[in-house]
Chains A and B, each alone.
Chain A
Amino acid sequence: SRSQNVLGRGLLTLLSRDHLDEDAWEEVEELLISADVGLEPTGRIVERLRERTRVLGTRTPEQLRVLLSEELTEALSVDAERSLNVRRDGDRPSVVLVVGVNGAGKTTTCGKIARVLIADGNRVLLGAADTFRAAAADQLETWAQRVGSEVVRGPEGADPASVAFDSVKRGIEAGVDAVLVDTAGRLQNKAGLMDELGKVKRVIEKHGPVDETLLVLDATTGQNGLEQARVFTEVCDVTGVVLTKLDGTAKGGIVIAVQRRLNVPVKLIGLGEGPDDLAPFDVTQFVDALLGD
């Protein structure tokens, strides 16, 4: 891809030098910034890298590359578990709430996760708690048909919390293994809509705890992604991030800051518009892609 080439080329010029001058460090910095890592994390990573190259007396390009990749791996590590918490608890299905800003890929991600769970032999119900956007429930219903799950929807303009409540209720009655609740896209600076989301979650919790609250983050997002993660976490206690649209040229470097500041792990990545275009987040692969190979 285009931006991959830019990064890859940047690193190559850097690595073909026989000493590390200020320009070389600037190139490392620019490589990270171009991947949306952000100024503060970039500064921190470069500083550590400088320190380590000094201490280790790094000379060869290969060594430096390994160090940079180690630093990024370190920056992306979290203590938290990356697998989805979707084990059925006794007679209650596990409940997953999917949230995020407009157009990030929530509905598609619901469909994809349902596909994976169903392939594993689970019965899944999709709850269409986006009662706002034009044809949002239709879209989720199409996904339900595609992957073979039940769907619960309310009339357009219905209270999303009550549709969410009904979805989980229906899931319990039908004895499904997992209920995935899709919500309307909302920008995190809209207080009213964020309150509504908090309510959706509280109302679902009348049936018991939500097992996963997944924040869907578009990989093309720049520095605003951190603010998204911060506010959504505050409002509904996000337990994992799904980084979508990684099949494009964007690197999704904002997740470094997101994970570090909020300690919320990236759990899944979206790699396309099809039902199978979902994968677990893999730090090594992510770092390699970020460095452009």
Chain B
Amino acid sequence: MFDSLSERLSGIFDSLRGKGRLSDADIDATARQIRMALLEADVALPVVKAFIHRVKERCRGVEVSKALNPAQQVVKIVNEELVAILGGETRRLEFAKQPPTVIMLAGLQGAGKTTLAGKLAKWLRDQNHQPLLVAADLQRPNAVQQLQVLGERAGVEVYAPEPGSGVGDPVQVARESLAHATRHARDIVIIDTAGRLGIDEEMMAQARAIRDATEPDETLFVIDAMIGQDAVATAEAFRDGVGITGVVLSKLDGDARGGAALSVREVTGQPIMFASVGEKLEDFDVFHPERMASRILGMGDVLTLIEQA
């Protein structure tokens, strides 16, 4: 569907092979192509601009090497910059000194929070933790049952004192889940919350109330890899409205380029920690910045070439 960045750039540089420095005109033409490739990958416009600026700066100083043609060299720079942004400060889950560790999930409607709750629970259980899932989405029809089914599949207890589908107070459920966890020796509490829009003040206030009642060690922002330019507004709203300590990219098993990864990383400053890659509980992985970088620009092959050069 899209031209890869290397295809785009090779045209510009064919004439230049092995000729010393990139000229300003070459750099401008290159920057235009990079901009287009990033926009087609759904990287948000303000993020694209900042990124291009950095890449241009780096390209200016570069000597055209013998081993790589200029296109490859620029791709290499772009890739390094991408990986630096996507991977800067990777880290593991933060565990509380005094259990239970509290992990709260937040995000837009349909992003993949409840599914992720199940996946995290299973993943942690497999590492000999004793997680507790908490059904604090009492809004979406049958979100509670959905979590119960997933909890059963993961072999993890689900704390669900309220029926949901409009009945019950999510803040109270979240608060009381901590005492329940302590009583039953659960060392990790995973709180599933309702999907909400960034501009929904009331729902954002509710998310804050859940946060304040539970003081999470991690507040993970779950975002759909298919999201477009709205990634920035949404990430800002969750950053400011609830506070985010980490990001999870979902539905990466699709064929979206996933430029949102870059946008969210830039906007929140928080690390992308996990990738959700399917509907089953085991379709879950820690996040790989290098893979994501090459996916955004569709340049897996070039990178292999560059590595061999």
Interface residues of A (CB under 8 A from B): 1-3, 30, 33-36, 38-39, 101-105, 132-135, 138-139, 142-143, 146, 187-190, 218-225, 227, 245, 247-251, 254, 273
Contacts and interface: CB of A to CB of B under 8 A. Distances in A.
Interface string B1-20: 10000000000000000000
Given A220-B230, A221-B228, A102 B142 contact: no
28 contacts: A2-B237, A34-B44, A34-B229, A36-B42, A38-B40, A39-B36, A39-B39, A102-B112, A103-B109, A103-B224, A105-B110, A135-B145, A138-B146, A142-B141, A218-B224, A220-B227, A220-B230, A221-B227, A222-B228, A222-B256, A224-B255, A225-B226, A248-B108, A248-B199, A248-B230, A249-B198, A251-B230, A273-B109
Interface of B: 1, 36, 39-42, 44-45, 108-112, 114, 118, 139-143, 145-150, 153, 165, 197-199, 224, 226-230, 232-234, 236-237, 251, 253-257, 259-260, 279
Contacts of B139: 273
A249 B255 contact: no
B120 to A, nearest CB: 15
B279 A102 contact: yes
Contact of A33 (B108, B146, B229, B233): B229
A249 B1 CA distance: 27
Contacts of A2: 198-199, 233, 236-237
A185 B54 CA distance: 39
A227 B1 contact: yes
Contact of B142 (A142, A247, A249): A142
Given A103-B110, A103-B251, 9 more contacts: A2-B233, A133-B146, A135-B148, A222-B229, A222-B256, A227-B255, A245-B110, A250-B228, A251-B229
Contact of A36 (B148, B153, B229, B256): B229
A250 B230 contact: yes
Contacts of A223: 40-42, 228, 256-257
Contact of A1 (B36, B165, B199, B232): B199
- The binding surface of chain B is classed by DSSP as loop
Contacts of A143: 141
Nearest to B164: A142
Greatest chain A CB density within 10 A among B139, B153, B197, B226 is at B226
Given A2-B237, A30-B45, A143-B141, A245 B228 contact: no
B132 to A, nearest CB: 18
A219 B230 CA distance: 9
Contact of B149 (A101, A134, A187, A249): A134
B42 A222 contact: yes
Nearest to A141: B142
Contact of A273 (B42, B140, B142, B153): B140
Looking at B109, B150, B232, B237, the one whose CB has the most chain A CB atoms below 10 A away is B109
Contacts of B254: 101, 187-189, 224
Contacts of A1: 199, 233
Contacts of B110: 102-105, 218, 245
A36 B255 contact: no
Listed from nearest, the 9 A-B pairs whose CB atoms lie closest are: A222-B228, A103-B110, A222-B42, A134-B149, A224-B256, A250-B230, A142-B141, A135-B145, A135-B146
A30 B46 CA distance: 10
Contacts of B251: 101-103, 187
Interface centre among A139, A188, A189, A247 (most CB of B within 10 A): A139
Residue among A2, A132, A188, A190 with the most chain B CB within 10 A? A2
Nearest to A250: B230
A134 B40 contact: no
B261 to A, nearest CB: 12
Contacts of A249: 197-199, 230, 233-234, 237
A138 B228 contact: no
Contacts of B228: 36, 220-223, 225, 250, 254
Contacts of A187: 251, 253-255
A255 to B, nearest CB: 12
A132 B257 contact: no
